[in-house]
Structure 1
């Protein structure tokens, strides 16, 4: 399969909407305390992480940052249903900011990212960690095929899109699924800068994760 375009701001919102199935699990369910493997977080904390990441992305893009800006996170306790709603709201905010970014860029630890790079990273955060939470909850998620295809081709350009369905590829790259021909590197990293600047090699993380 070949992706025909780069990830868009609308893809960020579509990814967030894909998590709607998680709302079927009530706030009081003990399943929200299950570990969302391969992380060591609970399913609840995993959802909080997604909205935290989108907030961080929004701040970087809004200020056209040239370095990593501080962001407050892990704030007041709230029902997980509110955190899920906040993921969707944060996705809409980031999407609006990306539409305004145009040809400008903003700093991310993986590189000086343009709008498609930011969109691809956001989609990865939402769908990969959303899948972690869904598995912990025993809920099936349907990941949008075209959104995943655009994301893989843009921020993981070394991956052969013909090896499997795009959602499976996205999960395989990030260590959530096994596919022959796809190396699940624990230090996977994004090609967040424009593809014209890519050196043709798989990206690997060279800084410690900012979220624990």
Structure 2
């Protein structure tokens, strides 16, 4: 089950569409991920996506992130924050589409391949998008086939074939509980190729 830049596009489209319903609200007062509000979560998400593109382009020889941070203008509206996420995903998608198939780049979860970075981008978009959606009281409805591929590639240790793929992905990232299954606190995805 290969994750592609098209999957990243689909994940972003579904999240941006869902969050757009709340674009008239005050994102600075709505909860996001952890201690971040929804606005700061959107900024973090845009930065993550651009950072992943930077890692694939620079491929640092030492285990480190590329030394820059992408930030949004402090006056950016919610619609402009959605634009920031879309641009970040577009940069990552373009990098994924033009990188050599054998490229590997650093990530704390291991030297990831193209599919790993596509999967990481999808997880970032979907789970941070869900964090924001909950704080803004909107519902996301991402494509279940994308969720299935992301779950299989990024969380190969998770056996949730009997669960809706979106719910399973939220459980794998400790965003929800599943009856009879342990908490996923301290979860980590697998960035390295599955055959490595």
TM over 0.5: yes
Match of 2:5 among 3, 9, 16: 9
User: Counterpart in 2 of 1:82?
Assistant: 80
Partner of 2:8, secondary structure, is helix
Q: Does structure 1 residue 95 correspond to structure 2 residue 90?
A: no
RMSD, matched Cα: 1.6
Partner of 2:68, secondary structure, is coil
Q: Equivalents in 2 of 1:53, 1:184: separation in Å?
A: 25
Q: Equivalents in 2 of 1:90, 1:173: separation in Å?
A: 24
So what's the TM-score if we normalise by structure 1? Answer: 0.84
User: Counterpart in 2 of 1:210?
Assistant: none
Partner of 1:12, secondary structure, is helix
User: Counterpart in 2 of 1:201?
Assistant: none
Residues 1-35 of structure 1, C-alpha deviation per residue, up to 9 Å, x if partnerless?
xxxx22111111111111212112234x2355121
Partner of 2:71, secondary structure, is coil
User: Counterpart in 1 of 2:144?
Assistant: 145
Verify the 8 A CA contact 1:32 1:137 in the aligned structure 2: no
Verify the 8 A CA contact 2:147 2:166 in the aligned structure 1: yes
The count of corresponding residues between Structure 1 and Structure 2 is 191
Shift of 1:75: 4.4
Q: Flag structure 1 segments of 5+ consecutive residues without an equivalent.
A: 198-212
So what's the TM-score if we normalise by structure 2? Answer: 0.90
Verify the 8 A CA contact 1:32 1:43 in the aligned structure 2: yes
